[in-house]
Structure 1
Amino acid sequence: MTASSRATARTSSEARAVARTQTLLKGENGIGTVRRTTLPGGLRVVTETLPSVRSATFGIWAQVGSRDETPALNGATHYLEHLLFKGTSRRSALDISSAIDAVGGEMNAFTAKEYTCYYARVLDTDLPLAIDVVCDMLTGSLIEAADVDAERGVILEEIAMTEDDPGDCVHDLFAKTMFGDSPLGRPVLGTVDTINDLDRDRIARFYKKHYDPTRLIVAAAGNIDHATVVRQVRKAFEKAGALSRTDVTPLAPRDGSRAVRTAGRVDLLDRKTEQAHVVLGMPGLARTDERRWALGVLNTALGGGMSSRLFQEVREKRGLAYSVYSYTSGFADCGLFGVYAGCRPSQVHDVLKICRDELDRAAEEGLSDEEIGRAIGQLSGSTVLGLEDTGALMNRIGKSELCWGSQMSVDDMLGRISAVTPDDVRAVARDVLGHRPSLSVIGPLKDKQADRLDDVVS
């Protein structure tokens, strides 16, 4: 054996020595068992085993989102998401897509404020292929200047498509209303100006900084074997030289930076649309806040379904809107609670008054026991039904590892929901809905209508 071979063997042996495997959740007869292995270089692999299905979903989560961008880099995370599909030293863009298409699988990615995920869903027998392709994309992307220029047009079209959909665009406007010109207030897609200014070198530096194994989490769910997945992932990352360091630890879950939020602010974007699109909301809760379970029940009762207060008051009783709902968004250190509605411009003040009245009433009086009981049942059922496929399971374990650094069983989640009391809901309603709201509106409002918007948040 040569000196080089001995050194390689020693490095490989050291790498295997530091791999650590834990059983995080133990299912019955192996079903639903969640395991984590931490590989050298800080790469974590989490899996959930479900032998009763014939599919598997494999994903890689990166702890990087639009929140990590400077103003000049706004949109870089999403831009990079596109570019990782454009080719590696082993595969062209066509090779990447055709490999998954040829086995009837599906592959995609998404970028959020605080993370990015790349995934492929395939038959269980094709999981090795999915692992090889996705790992190759994440570790071996070329990020060619020609691809950066070509994809620029695609992203600009995506921005234009979003701006043509006011029901989507109003949520970006609301983020800006609440967080201003801060990372959380800027759009995930970036702007036309920032996308036009980004070049290959800046994106490549961003890639090198944020796609280190310590910032990545591999997640797989379905008819899989944990040890086999770990072995295949390790082989793929070692082939790329991405696990050469053994003196590092995984990056801890993000703790945020205490984002500054506004109150009582109104933003109006004048557009010649058929409807006015509004979001009325206020600061919510961070995703680690234990009160999030009570807030989930409150949100469901207020605007989470056809029996919710807002749906009944705005749509069923008065016919003022087709779509009306409430929602919550939780980040590392803060959150949002919002109410969305789309209505005729002439009725926007009627809709906003009803929404504001219902929020104030819930803050002052809480909810009835009947409403809370119904919301708990609805939230419990939707939680379980939302985990009926391997893609949803992969999302759950990957996001849990990234955001909380731990796993919670479905039974524990259901227990937390069912343990919510009327007092819990009343308390969180006071704490969240008691804030002075802010308002974002897109639509063709006349001058007198626009002048009256400040009254809604006063």
Structure 2
Amino acid sequence: MVDYEILDNGIKLYKVPFRNENIAIGILVNIGSIFEDKEFRGISHLLEHMMFQSNKKYNKNQIHLLFEESGSIHNAMTYYNYTLYFAAVMKEGFENIVDLFYWMFENDKYDNNEFENEKNVVKTEIMMREEDPRIFLEDNLSKSVYGDSDYGDPIGGYIETINNITKDTLEEFKYKYYSPKNISIFLEGNISDKDVEIVKKYFSRLEGNDIKLKNPIKGEGKDIIIKMKNIQQIYYSINLNSNIKNTMLIDALTEFYNLGASSKIFEIFRNKYSIGYSPSLSLSNFYDDEIIYSLIIPGFQIDKEKILDNAIEEFLDNLKNVDNKYKKARSNIYKFNYNLKKENIVKRIETDPYLIKILNMDYDQYFNNVYNILSNIDKDFIEENNKYIYDLFEKGKKVIIYPEDYDKRNN
């Protein structure tokens, strides 16, 4: 359970103190691409961009300068079910950052020229993602599972849906969904009572109405085959959804077979069959109620496609062939990775808000739960839970990106 309080206007304020010289603030808005109208898909992401444009107090150049002048690393991200703004900052610059964020959230009107410029930036980003096979592979994972639907559409939308968004549409969207009752604030690191009061002083002034999010639609998934220009390799994934309650179990299970250069995935796909440079088996996408987990192979030679099924079959046949040294190696690598991240305040403020929102636990609590599962994997656990791995390959939907001239080259 993470300590929090609710401000008078409905904002939830979470506090996650840990040893660090600096402090971080994350502001999570409970709105993302799955809650958008389909004709305006990508509006949450476009608004994320516009938040850093000129407002009533600061112009866009002053915003970025003051973030950096205050000694901070700042960023934002839009996801399927939330949008997050965050900054890690030196203690002496904290109030400057809170003031900046307040005016970004309080602002209700945008400059038309800045809006049109940022629309073009977002459209450029969409085209860039569509032209990068590794990113385009990842952007289609959800569509393979949920089809053409709220859950399946790309977070950033499409060129045509971005074109549909006017400045008025965006400002109305912000007024509706950036209400205090739809916002949570997270403080992490070197938190004092004074820091908490600073946040309250600014953000208790925000006003807004009650909101009701739409019930997002899940469609039927199917295999997706794409032909792409200017690539020489095949990009491959197979993807399956599961209930959110299985998050930690599937995370532990996929880490057990994927983590490290001596893992089953690395040993069979890369070392034995030379299929891909960095094959991975892991959790890939997250929603409020479900997760997607995937085998992703971001690039392998065309002539290796004919032995891919052999590698998958050998991997599945060897799931039970693990000894105590293999088990110890997985749990120790996982613990080492945690030790690298647990006091990295930037990584924490990127990760904790989602974990707290969905699972009501911070990264430390999440790690301990997964680590306990991972450390106690035995024959009975494998017998009972390997069904998730088998199901992935039996029921999962594929995304395969081929070179445009694949048919010619494969004959």
Using the size of structure 1 for normalisation, the TM-score is 0.80
SS at match of 2:243: coil
Q: Shift of the alpha carbon at 1:402?
A: 1.8
Q: What's the counterpart of residue 395 of structure 2?
A: 436
- Which of these residues, 184, 192, 199, is aligned with residue 233 of structure 1? 199
Matched, 1:348 2:305: yes
Deviations 1:54-104 (A, max 9, x none): 211111011111111121011111000000000221111111111112133
Deviations 1:83-126 (A, max 9, x none): 00002211111111111121332211011111111011211111
State whether residues 131 and 233 of structure 1, in contact with CA within 8 Å, keep that contact through their aligned partners in structure 2.
yes
Name the amino acid aligned to 1:280.
I
Using the size of structure 2 for normalisation, the TM-score is 0.88
Q: What's the counterpart of residue 157 of structure 2?
A: 190
Name the amino acid aligned to 2:23.
A
Q: Shift of the alpha carbon at 1:44?
A: 0.9
Q: What's the counterpart of residue 15 of structure 2?
A: 47
- Which of these residues, 375, 385, 397, is aligned with residue 418 of structure 1? 375
Q: Shift of the alpha carbon at 1:421?
A: 4.2
Name the amino acid aligned to 1:120.
A
Whole-Å Cα distance in 2 between the matches of residues 117 and 439 of structure 1? 30
- Which of these residues, 136, 143, 147, is aligned with residue 110 of structure 2? 143
Whole-Å Cα distance in 2 between the matches of residues 131 and 425 of structure 1? 48
What is the identity percentage for the equivalent residue pairs of Structure 1 and Structure 2? 20
Deviations 1:266-299 (A, max 9, x none): 423343302211112323x333x1x433322221
Whole-Å Cα distance in 2 between the matches of residues 408 and 268 of structure 1? 37
**Alignment of structure 1 residues 8-407 onto 2, 5 Å:** 24=1, 35-50=3-18, 52-225=19-192, 227-239=193-205, 241-242=206-207, 259-262=218-221, 265-283=223-241, 285-287=242-244, 289=245, 291-328=246-283, 329-341=285-297, 342-350=299-307, 352-358=308-314, 360-361=316-317, 366=320, 368-370=322-324, 371-407=326-362
SS at match of 2:154: coil
Whole-Å Cα distance in 1 between the matches of residues 217 and 257 of structure 2? 27
Deviations 1:142-190 (A, max 9, x none): 3333322110111111112212210111111222122111112111111
Q: Shift of the alpha carbon at 1:432?
A: 4.7
SS at match of 1:143: coil
Whole-Å Cα distance in 2 between the matches of residues 372 and 181 of structure 1? 40
Whole-Å Cα distance in 2 between the matches of residues 355 and 209 of structure 1? 50
Q: 1:170 to 1:222 in 2, by over 3 A?
A: same
State whether residues 342 and 363 of structure 2, in contact with CA within 8 Å, keep that contact through their aligned partners in structure 1.
no
**430-439 or 129-138, which deviates more:** 430-439
SS at match of 1:188: coil
Q: Shift of the alpha carbon at 1:47?
A: 1.7
Q: Considering only CA atoms, is the larger Rg found in Structure 1 or Structure 2?
A: 1
SS at match of 1:185: coil
Q: 1:450 to 1:387 in 2, by over 3 A?
A: farther
Whole-Å Cα distance in 2 between the matches of residues 423 and 115 of structure 1? 38
Q: 1:134 to 1:425 in 2, by over 3 A?
A: farther
Whole-Å Cα distance in 2 between the matches of residues 85 and 141 of structure 1? 13
State whether residues 188 and 349 of structure 2, in contact with CA within 8 Å, keep that contact through their aligned partners in structure 1.
yes
- Aligned pairs, number: 403
Q: Shift of the alpha carbon at 1:338?
A: 1.1
Whole-Å Cα distance in 1 between the matches of residues 294 and 407 of structure 2? 25
Q: 1:276 to 1:219 in 2, by over 3 A?
A: same
The runs of 5 or more residues in structure 2 that have no matched partner are none
Q: Shift of the alpha carbon at 1:335?
A: 2.1
